[in-house]
Amino acid sequence: MLILVDENMPYVEPLFADLGEIVAVNGRSLTPEQVKDADILLVRSVTRVDAALLAQNSRLKFVGSATIGTDHIDLDYLASRAIPFANAPGCNAIAVGEFAFIAMLELAQRFGETLKHKTVGIVGAGNTGTAVANCLKAYGVRVLLCDPLLAQSGDEREFIGLDELLTEADVISLHVPIIKTGEHKTHYLFDEARLKCLKPGAWLLNCCRGEVIDNRALIRVKQQRQDLKLVLDVWEGEPRPMAELVPLVEFATPHIAGYSLEGKARGTFMLYQRLCQLLNLAADKSLGKLLPSFAVDSLALTAMPDERGLLQLARLVYDLRDDDELFRKHFADEQGFDQMRKNHRHRREFSALTLVYQGQSEVDWLFKLGFSGVGR
Ligand SMILES: NC(=O)c1ccc[n+]([C@@H]2O[C@H](COP(=O)([O-])OP(=O)(O)OC[C@H]3O[C@@H](n4cnc5c(N)ncnc54)[C@H](O)[C@@H]3O)[C@@H](O)[C@H]2O)c1
Ligand SMILES: O=C(O)[C@H](O)[C@H](O)COP(=O)(O)O
């Protein structure tokens, strides 16, 4: 069995080697010719899987995408050919949640403000939006949610409309899929008119899909509003972000919000489980065994961290400033965006860091945030 796999998918060898021959390929430039003889195709978000790519293949038994988003997959086409498909919903939600939370802590530090005193509006309250909300709530930040689809579906959390959220929120974090048409269209959800409605001094974070914000409008609005602070992990026109936009952004990264080692491993593992199920095989490998231990064995807390201390703890796990610096140096290089993603040094999630503490109750919030803990 030939298993064609994106070269940027970790842990493929230990999970899939027993199932067939693995061939790693560049997902961005994958051709129909390369796919022709594949039995299994495992991709990431940069591969458009459609009739054009699969035209020469008549033996494909499974397509898997180790991602949350499915906008790169022609699901109708796969269904028309009865090719089973799986993605990995939720695999990197914690990574995105922690990324957005850390970015907010960084902004607060940079501008001498306090995150804890802000109101954060989350647009899209699914897996990743909820993960950000969980971090913020653990830390005691007021959170507002906007998700008309979940509101209609009977989700019992409190939701508000987008216009109300824009009036109330000091910080807005975007977590919707890209939807190009219909009542809940998210393409250019943040157009010029909406961007102009952001509160004075607002922070806007985009960790979902670049085209949820009209990037040209963002340039125009930001050029007139120095007060706005931007964090962009995703860009209209990836892998070529608009060069004029980058200097206007406080923290700029190459679509790596979901790139924790745990998140990427979970993505590959979910596809392994689904394929085993399809092939009627026991999924006998374990995810826990794949992950290395964290560089810091454990850390003893001697005092309750304030917001600055919390940022220091977070930076021990992931220092966002490193990726921002690399991005500014390399985003305009030929292949720069993709090379940064390919060579990304996968960060760990908060859970990789064990905090040693005395007196459970006062530091409970750190464990709710995701850090691991042991008593002393
Ligand atoms: N930057 C990254 O590395 C990264 C990582 C993971 C996911 N993503 C992107 O983020 C998106 C969201 O991921 P998720 O796991 O939270 O997906 P999800 O499906 O769990 O949640 C998305 C939520 O958005 C809501 N929604 C849809 N249209 C909306 C609208 N018009 N207004 C408000 N809410 C709306 C949906 O009801 C849903 O609850 C993915 O589709 C993917 O495109 C990016
Ligand atoms: O949809 C997703 O899961 C994310 O956008 C994902 O992290 C994208 O990463 P890629 O598949 O391009 O490596």
* pLDDT per residue as tens digits for the range 275-304: 999 999 999 999 888 999 999 989 999 888
Q: For ligand 1, atom 44, which residue shows the shortest CA distance?
A: 208
Token output for 252 = 């700029």
The amino acid sitting at 365 is W
Ligand 2 binding residues, C-beta < 6 A: 8, 44-46, 67-69, 92, 255, 258
Q: φ and ψ at 101, to 5 degrees?
A: -65, -45
- Quick check: 199 pLDDT over 60? yes
For 319-352, the pLDDT digits (tens) are 999 999 999 999 999 999 999 999 998 899 999 9
- Quick check: 172 pLDDT over 80? yes
Residues classed as catalytic: 209, 238, 255
β-sheet with 299-300: strand ranges across: 299-300, 354-357, 372-375
Reported pTM: 0.96
Give 238 Cα–ligand 2 centroid separation in angstroms. Answer: 12
pLDDT for residue 302: 86
Cβ–Cβ contacts within 10 Å for residue 129, how many? 27
CA atoms within 13 A on the CB side of 294: 21
Mean pLDDT of the chain: 96
Cβ neighbours of residue 221 closer than 8 Å, sequence gap 6 or more? 192, 195, 196, 228
Q: Which residues are annotated as a binding site?
A: 45, 67, 147, 233, 258-259
Give 359 Cα–ligand 1 centroid separation in angstroms. Answer: 38
β-sheet with 85-86: strand ranges across: 21-25, 2-6, 40-43, 62-65, 85-86
Angle at 58 between CA 52 and CA 60, to 5 degrees: 90
Nearest ligand 1 atom to alpha carbon 129: 16
Q: From the CB of 136, is ligand 1 less than 6 Å away?
A: no
Q: For ligand 2, atom 4, which residue shows the shortest CA distance?
A: 67
Q: From the CB of 131, is ligand 1 less than 6 Å away?
A: no
Nearest ligand 1 atom to alpha carbon 150: 37
pLDDT for residue 29: 97
pLDDT for residue 375: 59
- Quick check: 173 pLDDT over 80? yes
- Quick check: 353 pLDDT over 70? yes
CA atoms within 13 A on the CB side of 356: 6
d(CA 283, CA 305): 42
Q: From the CB of 96, is ligand 1 less than 6 Å away?
A: yes
Give 59 Cα–ligand 1 centroid separation in angstroms. Answer: 32
| DSSP code for 299 | E
**Residues facing residue 357 across a β-bridge:** 375
d(CA 294, CA 355): 12
pLDDT for residue 359: 64
Token output for 248 = 């206007």
pLDDT for residue 374: 74
Which residue in the block uniquely carries the two structure tokens 């936009």?
245
d(CA 220, CA 89): 35
Closest by alpha carbon to 305, among 315, 295, 313? 313
The amino acid sitting at 73 is I
Coil, strand, or helix at residue 86?
strand
d(CA 164, CA 158): 13
Nearest ligand 2 atom to alpha carbon 341: 13
* Sign of the alpha-carbon torsion through 173, 179, 180, 183: negative
For 231-273, the pLDDT digits (tens) are 999 999 999 999 999 999 999 999 999 999 999 999 999 999 9
Q: Which residues are annotated as a binding site for NAD(+)?
A: 147, 233, 258
Q: From the CB of 262, is ligand 1 less than 6 Å away?
A: no
Cβ–Cβ contacts within 10 Å for residue 281, how many? 12
ipTM of the complex model: 0.99
pLDDT for residue 297: 86
Which residue in the block uniquely carries the two structure tokens 């960060």?
347
Give 174 Cα–ligand 1 centroid separation in angstroms. Answer: 8
pLDDT for residue 362: 79
Find out whether 130 and 147 touch, Cβ atoms under 8 Å: no
